[in-house]
Amino acid sequence: MHDHPAELDYEWPTCVTPRCNRRLWVAEAGRWACRPCEDATARRIAELPGLFTQLDTTAMLMKGASRISGPSGSKTPPIPPRLDVLNLVGPGGIAARLAAIEDAWRKVLGWTVAPWRGSPAEAIPKHVAFLANNLLWACSSYESVGQDIDDLRKLHGECAALAAGEKRPGRVAIGLCPVRLDDGWCGTALTASTASHRVHCGSCGARWDGLGEWRELRATQEAVTAEQAQETGAAA
């Protein structure tokens, strides 16, 4: 009985990226991920800072709020809780997911972990630069690169899907000013531009800037609403 030729037992190497798994070209010998996956990942990495900038706007945070069109029947229209957007642009979002990949690559390379790079807006360009500069190495020499490529694909897809639904800049009503004054709470109707992070009350002068203060504004509005409801119930 003759043995099978060795060639029949040889398994041609395939791309380690999930959803790809195609056979590598001869010119790709020794690589873990194929060149088309590398090229697609490079494009996605390069687009992430722009997508972050697009998502990190009041327009996305307020998406779903009613536009100003005259008196509203609701006294306290809420700021829509765009948790899907906040989860991406906040500290645990895009920046953290890129940092996790960068740290994994640094560990394999024997380099120190990435230093703290500041806010997500400051950190993302630096994470992107590192990943772009080391993507060829990862595709060629890092066995687990397939999962990272898939994670970057998913991250890019989440960002692109949300950014595609962004509204044109305009002004929206975001509820009443919850600032406490000597004679009660302000109660002035607040509006904001979807092209800016800043909210300004024309009556008491209060200002809210950025994601953190937006969350505080929303929480205070909800607290005032709950307090008013309790007072109404007690009066009844």
In terms of Cβ atoms closer than 10 Å to its own Cβ (0-12, 13-18, 19+), residue 204 is middle
Q: How far apart are CA 207 and CA 205, in angstroms?
A: 6
Among 163, 191, 215, the domain-final residue is 163
Strand partners, 199: 192, 208
Residue type, 149: I
Instruction: Give a yes or no: residue 204 inside a domain.
Output: yes
Q: How far apart are CA 142 and CA 149, in angstroms?
A: 11
DSSP class of 81: -
Instruction: Supply the pLDDT for residue 73.
Output: 44
Instruction: Give a yes or no: residue 136 inside a domain.
Output: yes
Q: How far apart are CA 132 and CA 76, in angstroms?
A: 46
94-109 vs 120-141: helix crossing angle, rounded to 10: 40
| 33/99 same-domain check | yes
| 91/159 same-domain check | yes
In tens, the pLDDT along 73-126 reads: 444 444 444 667 778 888 789 999 999 999 999 999 999 988 888 889 999 999
Instruction: Give a yes or no: residue 87 inside a domain.
Output: yes
Asked if residue 169 lies in contact with residue 194, where contact means CB atoms within 8 angstroms, the answer is: yes
Instruction: Give a yes or no: residue 54 inside a domain.
Output: yes
Instruction: Give a yes or no: residue 134 inside a domain.
Output: yes
| 39/99 same-domain check | yes
| 97/206 same-domain check | no
Q: What is the arithmetic mean of pLDDT over 180-190?
A: 84
Pick the closest to residue 155 from 93, 92, 91 (CA basis): 93
Tokens of 222: 């909800």
Q: What is the arithmetic mean of pLDDT over 39-58?
A: 91
| 44/140 same-domain check | yes
| 107/35 same-domain check | yes
More reliable by pLDDT, 172 or 146 = 146
pTM over 0.75: no
| 56/125 same-domain check | yes
Asked if residue 143 lies in contact with residue 177, where contact means CB atoms within 8 angstroms, the answer is: no
Residue 2 pLDDT greater than 60, yes or no: no
Q: What is the arithmetic mean of pLDDT over 191-206?
A: 78
The domain tally of the chain equals 2
Among 163, 184, 217, the domain-final residue is 163
Instruction: Give a yes or no: residue 73 inside a domain.
Output: no
234 — pLDDT class (breaks 50, 70, 90): low
* Residue 39 structural domain: 26-65+80-163
| 155/186 same-domain check | no
| 98/179 same-domain check | no
DSSP class of 75: S
Among 128, 163, 198, the domain-final residue is 163
Pick the closest to residue 124 from 148, 142, 101, 145 (CA basis): 101
| 224/131 same-domain check | no
Lowest mean pLDDT of 57-71, 134-148, 158-172, name the range: 57-71
More reliable by pLDDT, 183 or 49 = 49
| 195/158 same-domain check | no
Instruction: Give a yes or no: residue 21 inside a domain.
Output: no
More reliable by pLDDT, 194 or 17 = 17
DSSP class of 63: T
Instruction: Give a yes or no: residue 192 inside a domain.
Output: yes
Q: How far apart are CA 189 and CA 177, in angstroms?
A: 6
SS (H, E, C) 158-188: HHHHHHCCCCCCCEEEEEECCCEECCEECCC
Residue 70 pLDDT greater than 50, yes or no: no
| 32/142 same-domain check | yes
